[in-house]
Amino acid sequence: MAQQTKIPKNTPGAQVFVKVKEIKNGTVILRDNTLKSICICSSMNFDLLSTIEQEAIINRFQEFLNSLDFSIQIIVTSRHFEIDTYLNQIRDLEKKQTNELLRVQTSEYINFVESFVEFANIMTKSFYVITTFKIAESKEEEFDFLGKLKNLKASKKKAGETFKEENFSQYKAQLEQRTNLVVQGLQGLGIKAVPLNDEQLTQLFYEFYNVGK
């Protein structure tokens, strides 16, 4: 009989490891009150471009990165291609099919798709760009060196507290300015970037923390 692993008392729950405190108005608020926006981006088939086109894209992307005075994060996620919903729809059509030949062909098509997806191990990829704004950045623009130290201590002390509505609106506006710069820069590369709303952000983080579900 396998020995069961004993879980120590006072073991922190999964929530402790999730840095997200709140999702509000299309903005992710972390526990340290850092604000983040997440854009989902369209893809580009880089390999099908000519050498000249590839070099042009690389140069424009480099210019785009150099034009930013803040950092961004690029995330690529890969998941197995899910076709269960599609196949269930085909199965429903198969049951309603009155023509025996078409019914057999539909059944063979379902078997083909299932075996092909399983054999080829098809993956779907999603592309995201994350833009960040920290409260300390806003405060550093207004105070001298001593003020910076004071505000950094205050930020640590207030970490986890709720934003006042006027402060949140101010910081969110600055985050939106950065996000718009990113969207416009990617648009120049032929990539469409769309900020996620509250529902989409919630679903995204749920999938991140529940892989395989």
| Whether 135 and 89 share a structural domain | no
Reference 131, options 26, 35, 19; nearest CA is 35
Per-residue pLDDT tens digits for 70-84: 989 999 987 776 777
Residue 138: its pLDDT value, please?
Answer: 54
Q: How many structural domains does the chain have?
A: 2
- Asked whether residue 40 is domain-assigned, the answer is yes
- Asked whether residue 2 is domain-assigned, the answer is no
- φ, ψ of residue 10 to 5 degrees: the values are 60, 25
Distance linking the first and last C-alpha atoms of the chain: 29
Residue 118: its pLDDT value, please?
Answer: 72
Instruction: Quote the CA–CA distance of 161 and 208 in Å, as a whole number.
Output: 25
Q: What is the pTM of this model?
A: 0.66
Residue 137: its pLDDT value, please?
Answer: 59
| Whether 146 and 69 share a structural domain | yes
- Asked whether residue 151 is domain-assigned, the answer is yes
Residue 136: its pLDDT value, please?
Answer: 65
- Residue 211 has what DSSP assignment? T
Across the chain, what does the average pLDDT equal? 79
Q: Using DSSP, how many helices (H) and how many strands (E) does the chain show?
A: 7, 6
The answer, yes or no, to whether residue 15 has pLDDT greater than 70, is: no
Per-residue pLDDT tens digits for 105-120: 988 888 888 887 777 6
Half-sphere exposure of 123 (CA within 13 A, CB side): 6
Q: Which domain holds residue 204?
A: 18-78+127-209
In sequence order, the 6+-apart residues with CB closer than 8 A to the CB of 128 are 38, 39, 40, 41, 74, 75, 76, 77, 204
- Asked whether residue 3 is domain-assigned, the answer is no
